[in-house]
């Protein structure tokens, strides 16, 4: 009896996991498409929110709060840890 239940439950769990994963991928693609559209709109309007944020990140780096600066940069850009650290180092060096 237990084996029959397990043979039923495992494929069901696999199907549910596959369904959730496909929905997450679909939502991720939609979000990426919306982000590109918003970026185009901001570019068209001449709005540069990132410049203000980059100045704040550079200030954090200059104050010696590199970890906070790297974290903020990663949140802003979505870059990986290594790229964010390099970018923060460059921002701090420019000042």
* pLDDT tens digits, 41-85: 887 887 766 777 888 899 999 999 999 999 999 998 888 999 999
Whole-angstrom CA distances from 56 to 45, 75, 85 are: 22, 13, 15
CB 81 within 8 A of CB 70: yes
The structure tokens listed for 44 are 């068209």
What is the pTM assigned to this prediction?
0.49
Q: Which of 47, 65, 81 is the last residue of a domain?
A: 47
Residues 58 and 40 occupy one common structural domain = no
Residues 52 and 95 occupy one common structural domain = yes
Give the chain's mean pLDDT.
87
CB 92 within 8 A of CB 61: yes
Question: Which residues span the domain enclosing 33?
Answer: 1-47
Q: How confident is the model at residue 39 (pLDDT cuts 50, 70, 90)?
A: confident
Residues 31 and 63 occupy one common structural domain = no
The structure tokens listed for 84 are 């964010």
């Amino acid at each position: 009896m237990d084996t029959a239940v397990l043979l039923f439950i495992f494929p069901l769990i696999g199907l549910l996991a596959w369904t959730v994963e496909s929905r997450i991928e679909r939502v991720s693609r939609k979000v990426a498409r919306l982000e590109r559209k918003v970026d185009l709109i901001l570019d068209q309007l001449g709005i540069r929110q990132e410049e203000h944020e980059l100045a704040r990140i550079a200030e954090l780096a200059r104050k010696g709060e590199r970890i906070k600066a790297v974290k903020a940069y990663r949140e802003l850009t979505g870059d990986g840890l290594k790229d964010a650290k390099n970018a923060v180092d460059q921002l701090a060096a420019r000042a």
